[in-house]
Structure 1
Amino acid sequence: MRALTKTLVGFTAAVGIAAGTLAGAGTATADSARAAENAQAAQAAVNAEAAILATQNFGLSSQQAKNVQCFLRTSPASYTGAIDGQLGTNSWKAMQRWLRAYWNYNDSIDGDPGPNTVRALQRMLAHAWDYNDSIDGIAGTNTRAAFKRFANEMSVFYPC
């Protein structure tokens, strides 16, 4: 009888261990699936934030940004994107091409209006749109005000 009891207890323990291992595997699989879903949600949030950051109007209204896009469409910058009032990557690539051709922009055409793009923009704005501050690559208050004057003037010469 003792041998039978020992066998049953041993068998029950083995079954319990196996069941626990399988249950743990099921939990681990569920945890992995949850982690993958969380990673996908986090990536979607990063992509959404990147899309927002990709638009940089430097204080222009949507209409003023449309004026700039209309100018870029008719200039040698060859802008072919939508006239949507959002100065995104394609708008800035076109602006960089134009700044390269006329305002000593010598960085990559990447659509990122970083400091070198802003410096070239400031040189252009100093020429005819009353920008009289430092050529420092920072799109501060005076740069934004001159960019607005430029955008408003573009509506006269390059209407959409």
Structure 2
Amino acid sequence: MRPNALGRTIAGLITIAGLAAGNVAIAGTSYAAPATAAHTSVAAQPAAVATTQNFGLNTAEAKNVQEFLADYWGYTDSIDGQLGTNSWKAFQRCLKTYWGYTGAIDGDPGTNTIKALQRLLASDYGYTGAIDGVAGAGTQAAFKRFAA
């Protein structure tokens, strides 16, 4: 074999052997990252609340929602068209009062918040889908009608 072909063959075999052993061997001018400790433990961290969740609303529509929340549900942050934690806390207060939301007022528009929102949207805004806690196309379309 020619020296170049032999080198490529050996590098390929080393790469395959490294992958089979659970390590990545890198051929060429690079080098492998140092091995980490064999027994590292990783604690599960709670997911952070999304900074904004407009569920398909544009900025103007989200501002309309924030104005509604400021008028009736104690929203005091800026009317910026970004439905963040404080917007959703105010919305959860509304949903808890009238639409069966039973979760914490935490500003996280999760499954239970969306289910209560879907009940609201089904009452007057043309939502006809399942009350499933998924903010799909039907939920988003009805939320746009609510925000108009």
Same fold (TM > 0.5): yes
* Range into which the TM-score falls when normalised by the shorter chain: 0.5 to 0.7
- Does the 8 Å contact 2:50/2:108 carry over to 1? no
- Structure 2: how far apart are the matches of 1:74 and 1:127? 21
2:123 aligned residue: 127
Name the one with the larger helix percent: 1
Taking a change above 3 Å as real, the CA distance of residues 52 and 136 of structure 1, as seen in their structure-2 partners, is closer
TM-score normalised by the chain length of structure 1: 0.62
Cα distance 1:82–1:51, how it changes in 2: closer, same or farther (>3 A)?
farther
Residue 79, structure 1, aligned to residue 75, structure 2: yes
2:144 to 128, 143, 148: 148
2:54 match:
57
Q: 1:52: Cα distance to partner?
A: 9.2
The CA distance in 1 between the partners of 2:108 and 2:68, in whole Å, is 19
How far the C-alpha of 1:54 sits from its partner, in A, is 1.5
Query: What residue is the counterpart of 1:113 in the other structure?
Result: 109
Q: Which runs of 5+ in 2 are unaligned?
A: 1-46
Paired residues of 2:119 and 2:131 also in contact (CA < 8 A): yes
CA distance in 1, matches of 2:49, 2:123: 31
Amino acid at match of 1:137: G
Q: Where has structure 1 moved over 2 Å in runs of 4 or more?
A: 50-53
**Identity percentage over the alignment?**
62
Please say which structure displays the higher CA radius of gyration: 1
Work out the number of aligned pairs and report it.
102
Instruction: Tell me the equivalent position of 2:20.
Output: none
- CA gap 1:116/1:71 in 2 versus in 1, 3 angstroms: same
The CA RMSD measured in Å over matched residues stands at: 1.5
